[in-house]
Amino acid sequence: MKPVKVGVIGCGVIGTRHLSIASGAPHIELVAAADMIEANRKRAAERFAPPKMYTNDIDLLDDDEIEAVVLAFPTQYRTKIALRAFAKGKHVLIEKPIAMNVAEVNQLIAARGELVSGCCSSRQRFTPASRLVTRLITSGGLGALRTVHCRAIVGAGKEPNTARPAWRLIKAFNGGGILVNWGCYDIDYLLGITGWQLKPRTVFAQTWSVPQVFKSHIAPGSDAETHYNALIRCEDGIVLSLERGEFMTMHSHADWQIIGTEGSLKLNMGDGKPESVIHNRTTTAGGVESTSLSEADVAAESQHSTPLSDFAAAIRENRQPLTGLEQALVVQKITDAIYASAETGTAVEI
């Protein structure tokens, strides 16, 4: 496969990961990188030696050698630059969350045309466990789904002695807090492994900001949520239950479960090992019997283990990535509805 010529815009923490992947994947050729911050450009040049280094997105997008771009910078700027990239005929991979709101995602879909574009919220669905779970659920192994549930809690650590990144919990920069930082992974993962069969209709939710005892743990001026809880009723009576929190006043733990009429799964998005997934099988005579997915058939190997490697392959295979813009729109619709419900104190229709 002819390597896809890629440019990475944003050379911070997440951009560095993309630069590393682009530098090592045989089907990707790193052509250029761009960042407005000199220190970021210097680190990127030293570590990855991209042939070209730009100080802004405009110059990189004007580079005719580049076929595709990765947008790895704060959410508030991404839609504008993605639209500019589409206008230049570039394929676009967008970091998570996909955008600030549903209206922006609709703009992206309208502007994409025949180009390839997707979102990095799929990052957790490239593991062997995820592939096995997806195959089991979508083939009817659990019967008709009833509840899809996750609860992921991270307790607060010691008071930090370094400045906290402002973008993480300031709505104007990122569109929200823990819900867009991590909730987009949760929603994408659960919708993805269930084959995108969940059709959300009604959302009832609540969000909370950081407890006063941990105010010093976050950047001054932070106004976004650090804890949310949402109950989402989908078509066919399926209920999606989501809760995630950081800087919590309890110890860290995670609980992920999918319950159907013929069996259930207990798993953890952050652990991609098949042996960590418990499959509860059922029979009339024997009731519920638990086995590990490591005892099932081995998941088919995938050469694509990251959103960027899948994105590049999608370009050459003339398809959309694992999470394309239409799937990202569903994630964003749920996200917007959670915020709307939390603000009004009422159930919100999607």
194-211 residue pLDDT tens: 999 999 999 999 999 999
Is pLDDT of 296 > 60?
no
pLDDT value of position 168 = 81
pLDDT tens for each residue of 17-51:
999 999 999 999 999 999 999 999 999 999 999 99
pLDDT value of position 108 = 98
Fold of 124-303+332-349: Dihydrodipicolinate Reductase; domain 2 (3.30.360)
pLDDT value of position 297 = 53
Considering the domain 4-123+305-321 in this protein, what is its CATH number? 3.40.50.720
Q: What is the mean pLDDT of residues 42-65?
A: 97
Q: What is the mean pLDDT of residues 301-321?
A: 88
Q: What is the mean pLDDT of residues 289-299?
A: 73
Cα 189 to the chain's mean position, in Å?
8
Is pLDDT of 110 > 80?
yes
Is pLDDT of 139 > 60?
yes
Q: Whole-angstrom Cα distance, residue 112 to residue 286?
A: 53
Q: Which residue has the higher pLDDT, 127 or 168?
A: 127
Comparing CA positions, the residue from 337, 341, 327, 342 lying closest to residue 191 is 327
Is pLDDT of 299 > 60?
no
Q: Where are the domains of the chain?
A: 4-123+305-321, 124-303+332-349
Is pLDDT of 277 > 90?
yes
pTM over 0.75: yes
Q: What is the mean pLDDT of residues 144-153?
A: 97
Q: What is the mean pLDDT of residues 174-180?
A: 90
Is pLDDT of 247 > 60?
yes
**What does pLDDT average to over the chain?**
94
Q: Whole-angstrom Cα distance, residue 294 to residue 279?
A: 10
Is pLDDT of 172 > 60?
yes
Is pLDDT of 173 > 90?
no
Is pLDDT of 82 > 90?
yes
